Amino acid sequence: MRVLIQIISLFLIVSSYAEAQKYPVSDIPSELRKGTDVVVRSSEQELNIINLGKGVYKEKMAITVLNSDGFGASVFYESYDKLSKIRSISIYYYDKNGKQIKKVKNQEIEDFNVTSSGAVYDDSRVKYFEPEEYDYPFTVEYSFEKQFESTAYFPSFRPIYKSRMAVQSAAYKVSVASGYELRYKPRNGAPDPTIDKNDDGDTYFWALNNQESIKTPYAGKAAATTAPHVLISPSKFEMEGYTGDMTTWEGLAKWQSKLNEGRDVISDEVKAEIDQLLSGVTDPREKTKLIYQYLQKNTRYVSIQLGIGGFQPFDAMNVITNGYGDCKALSNYTYSLLKYAGIDSHYVKIRAGEDEEDILIDFPSFQFNHVIVAVPMEKDTVWLECTSQKAPFNFLGSFTSNRHALMVTNNGGIIVKTPKYSEESNLQVRSIEATIDQEGNVVAKSKTNLTGLQYDNYYGLVDLGHDDQKKYLLNNIDLPVFDLNSFNYTEDRNSESPSMNEEIELSIRKYATRSGKRLFLVPNLLNRSNHNPPGSDDRKADIIVRFGYKDVDTILYNLPENYRLEFDVEGVEVESDFGQYKASYEFIPETNQLKYTRSILIKQGTFPAEKYAEYRNFHRKIRRSDASKLVLIGET
């Protein structure tokens, strides 16, 4: 009996010790902690595809959070909807020595709708738990099971999903029935799977161990994009009774076409309104523009993530009845109106977002989050953003321009690319007349015209009220002390090359610094560059310049009586693969004026890492020129 008690005591001691040593931080290799906020200690993913309509996914993850910058990784967040259900959630937290701090109870896990706004309708929900901020470092361990009622989506193998995250151990196993084609795409050095084939089915296995952290570089791609990962996608799939084949873009487009069938019927009342609207109009482009303006006048955007997994648009009659719809419904309604008018158009699936990466055109899969409409014309294509009541006709802006998309056609679908706005078209032209007195005070009247994506960045200002416009200007004019005397915004939305005009008047106290009979003046009044790329001796990532544009500034200074330039000043010219910059100065003695002209062209593109020093030097020269001072001297 005494021996038995000793054995039990020893077992309890060993068990207690083992529990205390669960995920101790001391077990993390030093190279994985360097430059790291978060370390994935263990990641186990398992996906079992039962048939075309069902799958089971299991995930168990242990993550050590080293500092406050990595706190977000300690939060449990998993979404689900009517096509997926989450089961068996367990969440534990451990201190740096591996001692359990907390076991989360089921009732502590929140369950809420992803979007609670009254302007949004969907069936997406989230299981969520956010811990208190424990002493760093600490570890979270969680596990759950998700049951899928559709096989359109497969979770990817992406152990590194944020900057400054390292991985100690990660594995992913996918099981499919015999003969099922699993599609996958390893990226950035991710391994190919080991495959075990037998009569019952095939098993694919990926592993990634001791992966050091990756930091998102300045002017580079996000760490999650450049880290090793594997995209996994179905071939044939099923969603709410609709089967499809995703091995080609054409197959995916045909599936979308099936979802859209019969949803283009419009009412007799709307037909009559369209007939009246287009009466006497013969030009297809003008007809398209009138129908687009009709859409904008009679509908509004509401996000709705319902209907065949959020992929099937509400029919045109629903939009007519309610006066609103999401991108799918409004695009389908636009298509329906154009069809009635005898104008061919196409439903286009696209990944929208100003900073979104383009889709991978060699891996057909669900990579889209938005829908627009394309209208082929004789010489070009008209593109329609159907969710905005104010967007100009045939103007996409930075939200959907210059990227690949899937155009759904009568015969299936093709990959197309939306228009790119050139640097020259993204134009800001500003002229200023400024009067300086002998104390260095300045009154400046500025007129600015914006086109292309420069217009797109600011056109919403026109629709803001006077107080909000004033607040914007006060927050964005980079001057230490000034009074905003007056301002006005106007725009031209009717053109396919829309533009905005800004007029402001400023009083700037002591803008030029006085010293004796001299005034020290920075001639660049409103458009100084503060772009200062950080140093990097071992840059390895490509340089990404996402926005190309051109600015032209002309400032005419009325100088105080008897003042002139003390010294002639040479202009500045900077030429680089990244763009061009010019600044010039001219004293006009006849009118006692100083003319300052500045132009800058920034090229959009991807540039090799070895040019990073040139990139920094280019912007350093621009900053230096923009901040340079001239000396004005008074003659007595």
Question: What does the alpha-carbon distance between residue 300 and residue 298 come to, in Å, rounded to a whole number?
Answer: 7
pLDDT at residue 5 in the model: 45
Q: Give residue 113's pLDDT.
A: 82
DSSP helix/strand/coil, 25: helix
pLDDT at 44: 98
Q: Domains of the chain: which residue ranges?
A: 23-238, 248-417, 427-634
Q: Which CATH architecture has domain 427-634?
A: Sandwich (2.60)
Please tell me the pTM assigned to this model.
0.90
Q: How far is CA 45 from CA 33, 154, 171, in A?
A: 23, 11, 6
| Buried-state track 615-633, b at ≥16 Cβ within 10 A, e below 16 | bbebbebbeebbeeebebe
Residue 564, beta-bridge partner list = 633
Q: Compute mean pLDDT per 10 residues along the chain, 636 residues long, and list them.
A: 46 46 93 96 96 93 97 95 92 97 96 63 83 96 95 92 96 93 95 92 96 93 93 93 94 95 96 97 97 97 73 94 94 98 97 92 95 96 96 95 96 94 97 96 97 91 90 92 95 92 96 94 96 91 95 97 90 97 95 97 97 97 96 87
Terminal alpha carbon distance of the chain? 114
What is the enclosing helix (H) or strand (E) of 417? Answer: strand 412-417
Interatomic CA distance for residues 564 and 561, integer angstroms: 9
Q: State the SS3 of 96-125.
A: CCCCEEEECCHHHCEEEECCCCCCEEECCE
Position 132 scores a pLDDT of 94
Q: Which residues contact 575 (CB under 8 A, 6 or more apart)?
A: none
Could you tell me which residues come within 8 angstroms of residue 16 by beta carbon, excluding any fewer than 6 positions away? none
Q: Tell me how far CA of residue 542 lies from CA of 45, 79, 186, 533, 609, in angstroms.
A: 31, 34, 20, 14, 5
User: Could you give the C-alpha distances from 276 to 37, 288, 345, 484, in angstroms and in order?
Assistant: 63, 14, 21, 48
Level-2 CATH architecture, domain 248-417: Roll (3.10)
* Other beta carbons less than 10 A from residue 591's beta carbon: 11
**CB contact at 8 A, 334 and 292:** yes
CA atoms of 398 and 371, how far apart (whole Å): 15
Taking alpha carbons only, the member of 254, 243, 235 closest to residue 408 is 254
Three-state secondary structure call for residue 439 = coil
* Cα–Cα distance measured from residue 161 to residue 429, given in angstroms and rounded to the nearest whole number: 41
Fold of 23-238: Immunoglobulin-like (2.60.40)
Domains 248-417 and 427-634 are alike in CATH topology: no
